[in-house]
Structure 1
Amino acid sequence: MTLLSALCREISRASGSPFVLRDRRSAAGGCINETAVLQGQDGRGFFVKLNRPDLAHMFAAEAEGLLALRTPGAIRVPEPLCHGVVEGRSFLVMEHVPLGGPSRPALFGEQLAALHRHVAPRFGWYRDNTIGSTPQINPWCDDWVVFYREHRLGFQIRRAAKAGGGAGLIDAVEQLMEGLPALFPGYRPVASVLHGDLWSGNHDTDREGRPVIFDPAVYYGDREADVAMTELFGGCGPEFYAAYESVWPLDPGYRVRRDLYNLYHLLNHFNLFGGGYAGQSERVARRLLAEVR
């Protein structure tokens, strides 16, 4: 059986309706997975991700993350259909959402704030997942500062040390971890459901102009982490941030903690791609150390 035939079989089983392939086309995606859109003769379309069979757990976690983001009904999220391993490839099949409609940053801001209103009693998630292809560890924790220190910064800096991160970077981040409580004066975040990887490549609008989020790294954490990520590689524009704060204002300390939350992603980029991310991470860590002192 070919891979395409096996995927059509899995779609038919999961959807409860025979899926006969009319067209397959490659889809734009990241650098981690092979992606395609499968169009059926009945008009149904599905977005498919493929990878090595040993990465099936990554797709299982992504499917569960998509469901977690869909549960509040606050913003459009593709519906996962099935995942597993066929013909020597791991796969994830989800609803295909045609993108590229008119941008509506204010609506996106309002809907993201509404999503963040969905909270849990503790920080973390019921399972680990991945951020890109890096493991993301999510044990339940009552203390956000402890969670972020140990399972976000600590996890990444240990990997960075093994990957050849310089002594200056390691020292700066370790000092920052020790002084972390000083960056949370009077601020006690709630455990909001987070997309977890909300850079510009992981959100868009559908053809009707409705915001859509996808490719998540879900956990429950400080909502500021999601907002900060939108600013890391180019922001969403003033309308987005004004609309978000009209629904749920940010604490004044966000302007400092924004760097703290993006440091996690910069360290992850160093661990994934190397290059100049080490220097950028060290500069951000030392800037934060100035706030601690």
Structure 2
Amino acid sequence: MAKVPEPVRTWLAERGYTVQGLEPVGGGDINQAYRVHTREGATFFLKRNPAAPADMFAREAEGLQALRTAPRGPTVPEPYLWGSDFLLLEDLRPAPRRPDYWPRFGRALAHVHQVHGPAFGFEHDNYIGLTPQPNPWTADGYAFFAQHRLLYQAQLAHRRGLLPAADVHAVERLATRLPELVPPQPPSLLHGDLWSGNALTDAHGGPAIIDPAAYYGWAEADLAMTALFGAFPDAFYRAYQEVRALEPGWRERFPIYNLYHLLNHLNLFGSGYLGSVRHILRRFS
């Protein structure tokens, strides 16, 4: 039976709350999630993973804090307390989606992408799932995406015996072609892992985002992830462009960005993703 970490009990007690129980919450592939109920009626959201890298939840909290600073962005839960194996968050208490959920979400994400960093990267390296995500500050977006996204994942998969050398070479060829395939873009604040499972609602039915792998990068890369496992509705993309215009051909470029996530899934979940990786490499390398 799951237990509330002692630091969480102490933190809650210092604020006048007594833990009443834990309610398991499904949906995650990597962490266990619970709603913490208190005798006072307040609820909190708790993520646990005893096998997590020691700084994983600290880096997630850092990403949440960055996203919370974006003016007019989606709702982002406040991180309250974290340790090597847990993260305590604001409970979003999701309500049913409002009728205008998707247009509001599109505009809100565009406002996030209007926040620009000093370069490509982030304050610290963090994680995409359980995979380390290197974020060294890099002036050139093409070099950043090539070295610290595509090639990092490809070389990791090769070392693990999941990606043959010929496929690594194909990733290298694609990386050299990035300047001709991808338009110049400024370093925008990104969620970093924006598939449908990380797009929720807040207590009012409005858009909310969770579980970031945040960094400053190409905004189109964030949009591409929204289409990887079933695209968001067209209303989302139309509303996004009311705030922030996209270069022609943006949909056709999505597979280039999503190669990063498919390589990561290859590393996390195994050879079932190799075919999808090769499909993109045949098209673009």
TM-score scaled by structure 2? 0.93
Match of 2:106 in 1: 109
Q: Is the 8 A contact 1:35 1:49 kept in 2?
A: yes
Rounded to whole Å, the distance in 2 between the matches of 1:54 and 1:249 is 38
Match of 2:148 in 1: 151
Rounded to whole Å, the distance in 2 between the matches of 1:57 and 1:8 is 17
Match of 1:118 in 2: 115
Deviation at 1:209, TM superposition (A): 1.4
Match of 1:81 in 2: 80
Paired residue secondary structure (2:171): helix
Deviation at 1:5, TM superposition (A): 6.2
Deviation at 1:54, TM superposition (A): 5.8
Rounded to whole Å, the distance in 1 between the matches of 2:82 and 2:21 is 20
Cα displacement string for residues 161-218 of structure 1 (whole angstroms, at most 9, x for unaligned residues): 112213442232121112222113xx32111110000000001112421100000000
Rounded to whole Å, the distance in 2 between the matches of 1:36 and 1:11 is 17
Q: Is the 8 A contact 1:39 1:46 kept in 2?
A: yes
Rounded to whole Å, the distance in 2 between the matches of 1:9 and 1:274 is 38
Following TM superposition, the consecutive aligned residue runs of length 4 or more in structure 1 with deviations greater than 4 angstroms are none
Match of 1:174 in 2: 172
Rounded to whole Å, the distance in 1 between the matches of 2:138 and 2:168 is 25
Rounded to whole Å, the distance in 2 between the matches of 1:252 and 1:168 is 32
Q: For 1:283, give the aligned amino acid.
A: H
Q: Is the 8 A contact 1:105 1:239 kept in 2?
A: yes
Task: Work out whether 1:193 is the aligned partner of 2:192.
Answer: no
Match of 1:12 in 2: 12
Paired residue secondary structure (2:35): strand
Task: Work out whether 1:129 is the aligned partner of 2:138.
Answer: no
1:48–1:174 Cα change, 3 Å: same
Rounded to whole Å, the distance in 2 between the matches of 1:225 and 1:106 is 19
Rounded to whole Å, the distance in 2 between the matches of 1:54 and 1:211 is 28
- Of 265, 269, 275, 2:271 maps to 275
Q: For 2:191, give the aligned amino acid.
A: H
Identity, % of aligned positions: 44
Matches within 5 A, 1:15-26: 16-26=14-24
Paired residue secondary structure (2:48): strand
Deviation at 1:3, TM superposition (A): 4.2
Rounded to whole Å, the distance in 2 between the matches of 1:160 and 1:137 is 15
Q: For 1:130, give the aligned amino acid.
A: Y
Paired residue secondary structure (2:152): helix
Paired residue secondary structure (2:227): helix
Q: For 2:210, give the aligned amino acid.
A: F
Q: Is the 8 A contact 1:203 1:211 kept in 2?
A: yes
Structure 1 spans left out of the alignment, 5+ residues: none
Rounded to whole Å, the distance in 2 between the matches of 1:56 and 1:49 is 14
Task: Work out whether 1:94 is the aligned partner of 2:78.
Answer: no
1:3–1:243 Cα change, 3 Å: same
Q: For 1:201, give the aligned amino acid.
A: G
Cα displacement string for residues 94-152 of structure 1 (whole angstroms, at most 9, x for unaligned residues): 00111241251010001000111111121100100000000000000100000000000
Matches within 5 A, 1:220-235: 220-235=216-231
Match of 1:64 in 2: 62
Q: For 1:93, give the aligned amino acid.
A: L
Q: Let me know the Cα RMSD of the aligned residues.
A: 1.7
Deviation at 1:288, TM superposition (A): 1.4
Deviation at 1:257, TM superposition (A): 2.4
Q: For 2:248, give the aligned amino acid.
A: P
Structure 2 spans left out of the alignment, 5+ residues: none
Q: For 1:153, give the aligned amino acid.
A: L
Rounded to whole Å, the distance in 2 between the matches of 1:95 and 1:226 is 24
Task: Work out whether 1:244 is the aligned partner of 2:243.
Answer: no
Rounded to whole Å, the distance in 1 between the matches of 2:54 and 2:33 is 15
Q: Is the 8 A contact 1:8 1:19 kept in 2?
A: no
Rounded to whole Å, the distance in 2 between the matches of 1:18 and 1:8 is 12
Q: For 2:11, give the aligned amino acid.
A: I
Deviation at 1:219, TM superposition (A): 0.1
Paired residue secondary structure (2:81): strand
Paired residue secondary structure (1:94): strand
Q: Is the 8 A contact 1:8 1:21 kept in 2?
A: no
Rounded to whole Å, the distance in 2 between the matches of 1:140 and 1:10 is 37
Match of 1:43 in 2: 41
